[in-house]
Amino acid sequence: MSKSIIQPMKKKRFLFLFISVFAVLSIAVNAIIQPCFAAFSLSVNPYEGGYDLRFGQLDTKSSKAVKELTITVTTDIGKQYRVYQRLDKSLATADGTEIARNQFKMYTLTGSNSKGTLEWIEEMPVMSSDTVLYTSNTAGEGDTFRVVYTLEPLASQTAGSYFGRFIFVLVPIDSTQDETYKTINIYADLTNEGAVEISTKAGMKSIRISSRDIERGAADNSTAQISVKGNLGTRYNIYQQLSDPLIKSSSSELLGLDTILYKVTDVNSGAVLKEGNLSDLKSKSLVYSSDNLGSAAEIIIEYQPSADFSGEKADVYNGTINYYMETDIATAALDSGFVDAVDIECEVEPVFKITATSVDDNGAAISQEGVAFLQFGDIGYKEETKESRINVKINSNKGRPYAVTQKLSGPLQNEAGEAIPAGLFTFITEKKDTVVGKVKFENETAVEPGSDKTIFVSNANGDSDEFDVVYKLKVTADTKGGNYNTGISYSLSEL
């Protein structure tokens, strides 16, 4: 082969080699300078396939529907993380009727994960607040786990097409990595040939009672409505009962059940069917009995505080009232048993009040908050001792001890400005048989205008109490005639 032919071939091979090396180096350099993205992702998929959580159609006789979601976390950030569930939209019909809270439940499936810790392994109602489903190990390794959702048909379920939405959130711990979100829609179709619906006039599943209701009467949010829909084909009875025979505060204070009254009224006839107080609800208490056909009914139960409610210790008390239906025959459209529950919240507002009651010249009682007007009438020249009695009553529900202080607004004097000399104007405090506190002046003591005197101290619980203060005026031959009076005030202070 001639030399002229070989030289061009060598040049071509060299050029090819140069281009190949340049391409390899370019790819390598490009790989080095490319940004490196961390993996931190979340996938949520129905265990049976598809994209949504679908329960299908359930009537009151259907078995509990069970569905699962598989949740997978992929990560290489090396940080611990948590997976949260958020009920972004409650499972409800288009008109806003929500699924009963004891009907839609969930739990994480034990053993479905391999590394981290599952939360909520016991079945519980789906909550509207953020719920921690899973916490990874400290190394923050990826994992897979399953969440089980159950929808149990109830005799009281409202027919309709229900739609809801979950948002699942992957949250890093001690990391600047962004959170990751995934959305899953929920669908269910409920049917019911008969139903019992329980709510309040305010449209909530809770009853709220306040001291303010004593004067204004039952409010919309303290009235329960019970609607029985459909012809059940047999007589039925509706009952109410406290789920726990105690209504108590977060500090374990107990509310007197007899301080909450209730009245049951048939909406259709307007007839009052029953009246009582919550102490009746320690056991099942009959609310309504239907006719023999089990016809539809509308009943309201008004819950209202009694006059003694404000005397309970100031606090917020909580409980739950359960409602039940019992039918005469097992083949009724609705089963006997638990229907629904309504939370009850009772707010006793603080009371810290002192009232002084005196008697005027005509014998009429005059009551004022914290003040009294002392009157001894016309004073002549006859030597005598005149008295003016003040009843002091304290209403307190704060549960803390207190003291009562007395103060005169000025000297005891007549219309001419002539004052009674010191020592002739005295007072004494008198206990009543029901007094639980301590009066401080059981012997006559001179009244000193302008000076504060603690005249009463409550018991350690700060219970409401009352006592009398007797003011005495000694008339001597030197006493100027006239109508003597002065003002006096009483104040409360916590100890």
Q: In this structure, are 343 and 360 located in the same domain?
A: no
Residue 294 falls inside a structural domain:
yes
What is the number of structural domains in the chain? Answer: 3
Beta strands in 77-234 (DSSP E): 81-92, 104-108, 117-118, 124-125, 131-135, 143-151, 160-172, 180-190, 195-200, 206-210, 223-229
CATH number, position 364: 2.60.40
b/e 290-328 (16+ beta carbons within 10 angstroms → b): beeebeebebbbbbbbeeebbbbbbbbbbbebbbbbbbb
The segments of the chain whose pLDDT lies below 50 read 1-6, 8-35, 331
> What is residue 9's predicted lDDT score, i.e. its pLDDT?
47
In tens, the pLDDT along 215-252 reads: 776 667 788 999 887 666 678 899 999 998 889 898 88
Calpha distance 42→21 (Å, rounded) = 41
> In this structure, what are the phi and psi dihedrals at residue 487, rounded to the nearest 5 degrees?
-100, 150
Structure tokens at 182: 């995934």
**What does the chain come to in residues?**
495
Neighbours of 476 (CB within 10 A): 11
Nearest-5° Cα angle at 392, 391 to 394: 145
Q: In this structure, are 183 and 249 located in the same domain?
A: no
Residue 32 falls inside a structural domain:
no
Q: In this structure, are 304 and 441 located in the same domain?
A: no
Residue 395 falls inside a structural domain:
yes
What three-state secondary structure class fits 468? Answer: strand
Q: In this structure, are 61 and 183 located in the same domain?
A: yes
The residue segments making up the domain with residue 112 are: 40-190
> What is residue 228's predicted lDDT score, i.e. its pLDDT?
87
Last residue of one domain, picked from the residues 348, 364, 398: 348
Sheet holding 160-172, edge to edge: 53-58, 180-190, 160-172, 81-92, 131-135, 117-118
Q: In this structure, are 159 and 98 located in the same domain?
A: yes
Q: In this structure, are 264 and 344 located in the same domain?
A: yes
Q: In this structure, are 44 and 179 located in the same domain?
A: yes
Residue 4 falls inside a structural domain:
no
Q: In this structure, are 69 and 165 located in the same domain?
A: yes
Calpha distance 106→151 (Å, rounded) = 9
Q: In this structure, are 245 and 320 located in the same domain?
A: yes
> What is residue 8's predicted lDDT score, i.e. its pLDDT?
47
Q: What is the pTM of this model?
A: 0.53
CATH number, position 90: 2.60.40.10
Last residue of one domain, picked from the residues 171, 190, 209: 190
Calpha distance 321→179 (Å, rounded) = 40
Residue 10 falls inside a structural domain:
no
Mean pLDDT of the chain, nearest integer: 85
Residue 72 falls inside a structural domain:
yes
Question: Percentage of the chain with pLDDT > 90?
Answer: 50
What three-state secondary structure class fits 12? Answer: helix
Alpha-carbon distances of 371 from 44, 230, 465, rounded to whole Å = 70, 62, 17
Q: In this structure, are 112 and 218 located in the same domain?
A: no
Q: In this structure, are 179 and 63 located in the same domain?
A: yes
Residue 18 falls inside a structural domain:
no
Amino acid letter, 424: L
Residue 338 falls inside a structural domain:
yes
Q: In this structure, are 70 and 145 located in the same domain?
A: yes
> What is residue 334's predicted lDDT score, i.e. its pLDDT?
60
Last residue of one domain, picked from the residues 348, 371, 401: 348
In tens, the pLDDT along 384-442 reads: 788 888 999 999 999 999 999 999 888 888 888 888 887 888 999 998 777 889 999 99
